[in-house]
């Protein structure tokens, strides 16, 4: 009797913990750190790729899972003395499930390949969009970010960018590995000591975008936040001009 009480409580506790774990990410879906909410051209592109992958993966999940369940029921042994039909191979089926995934994976690979340059470096060089690109150097160190603007001045922790302008970012670190990511503005990129990495962000509308260091870098990792303010070009120019540093 006592044992069943303990078992019941354990089951309830496990159920609550499981439900909590399922619900914990919910606030993220509404926040501006969810890349699926879009935010600008690069993130819209990432979302497109994500959705194509999600659709393909869902079709595979439903198709394979459905086939397993169907086969388990349809071809089950119905009585103890019955031996279900034994199948030892099917060349056409095997060819189909080899070629099918190959074609899907090749298509997804090409989809990634044609977009990775854009997500790393922004619009194609020579195009009008590329000509207005602004370059900002991002330097990570324990435990804050420094943003260097084209005029040589810099800001700490908060980056101001003009809206609807592609921003080419180069990242580096002065100590350990950090990770720069503002999920609504572009792809995640590591900031490494001794190596310069490139990424591209762009805000599609004015506002404040949040990010943080995405590589555990020490005891102050949680304070290594990023605030990006997307403002008009006039406000941006005035901001960088009036930076004292």
CA-CA-CA-CA torsion sign (150, 151, 154, 158): negative
Q: What's the maximum distance between 2 C-alpha atoms anywhere in the chain?
A: 88
122 CB neighbour count, 10 Å cutoff: 26
Q: Which is nearer to Cu ion, 181 or 200 (CB)?
A: 181
With beta carbons less than 8 A apart as the criterion, state whether 241 and 151 touch: yes
Q: Is 217 in the site for Cu ion (CB under 5 A)?
A: yes
Pairing mode, if any, of strands 189-191 and 197-201? unpaired
The pair of structure tokens assigned to 128 is 């009008």
Q: How far is the CB of 221 from Cu ion (least distance, A)?
A: 5
Q: Which is nearer to Cu ion, 35 or 181 (CB)?
A: 181
Instruction: Please tell me whether residue 163 binds Cu ion under the rule CB under 5 A.
Output: no
Which listed range, 9-17, 50-58, 182-190, 219-227, lies at the site for Cu ion (CB under 5 A)?
Answer: 219-227
**Contact window for Cu ion (CB under 5 A) among 48-56, 129-137, 174-182, 229-237:** 174-182
Select from 138, 169, 203, 213 the one that contacts Cu ion (CB under 5 A).
213
Q: Which listed residue (189, 224, 228, 230) binds Cu ion by CB under 5 A?
A: 224
Nearer to Cu ion, 178 or 229 (CB): 178
Q: Is 159 exposed, middle or buried (0-12, 13-18, 19+ CB in 10 A)?
A: buried
**Which of these ranges, 11-19, 84-92, 146-154, 178-186, lies near Cu ion under the rule CB under 5 A?**
178-186
- Using the minimum distance from each CB to Cu ion, give the nearer residue, 75 or 216: 216
Two tokens, residue 173: 């670190």
241: Cβ–Cβ under 8 A, 6 or more apart, which residues?
151
The reply to whether 189 sits near Cu ion by the rule CB under 5 A is no
Q: Quick one: which segment of 83-91, 100-108, 152-160, 170-178 binds Cu ion (CB under 5 A)?
A: 170-178
According to CB under 5 A, which one of 178, 180, 187, 229 is a site residue for Cu ion? 178
The site that binds Cu ion (CB under 5 A) totals a number of residues, namely 4
The least CB distance from residue 240 to Cu ion, in Å, is 25
How far is the C-alpha of 177 from the C-alpha of 84, rounded, in Å? 58
Please identify, using beta-carbon distances, which residue of 203 and 213 lies nearer to Cu ion.
Answer: 213
Give the residue from 155, 163, 153, 204 showing the smallest Cα distance to 46. 204
Q: Which residues are paired to 160 by β-bridges?
A: 229
Which residue, among 154, 203, 156, 197, has the nearest Cα to 183 in the 3D structure?
203
Residues that bind Cu ion (CB under 5 A): 178, 213, 217, 224
């Amino acid at each position: 009797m006592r044992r069943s009480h303990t078992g019941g409580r354990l089951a309830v506790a496990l159920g609550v913990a499981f439900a909590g774990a399922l619900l914990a990410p919910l606030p993220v879906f509404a926040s501006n750190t969810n890349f699926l909410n879009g935010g600008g051209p690069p993130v819209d592109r990432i979302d497109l790729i994500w959705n194509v992958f999600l659709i393909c993966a869902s079709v595979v999940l439903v198709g394979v899972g459905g086939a397993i369940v169907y086969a388990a029921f349809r071809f089950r042994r119905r009585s103890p003395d019955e031996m279900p039909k034994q199948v030892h191979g099917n060349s056409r089926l095997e060819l189909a499930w080899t070629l099918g995934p190959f074609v899907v994976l090749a298509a997804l690979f090409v989809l990634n390949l044609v977009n990775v340059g854009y997500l790393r470096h922004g619009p194609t060089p020579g195009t009008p969009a590329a000509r207005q690109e602004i370059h900002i150097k991002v330097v990570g160190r324990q435990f804050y970010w420094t943003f260097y603007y084209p005029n040589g001045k810099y800001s700490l922790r908060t980056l101001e960018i003009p809206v609807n302008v592609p921003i080419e970012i180069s990242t580096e670190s002065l100590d350990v590995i950090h990770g720069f990511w503002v999920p609504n503005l572009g792809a995640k990129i590591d900031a490494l000591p001794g190596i310069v990495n490139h990424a591209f962000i762009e805000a599609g509308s004015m506002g404040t975008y949040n990010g943080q260091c995405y590589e555990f870098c020490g005891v102050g990792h949680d304070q290594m936040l990023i605030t990006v303010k997307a403002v008009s070009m006039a406000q941006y120019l005035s901001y960088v001009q009036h930076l004292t540093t």
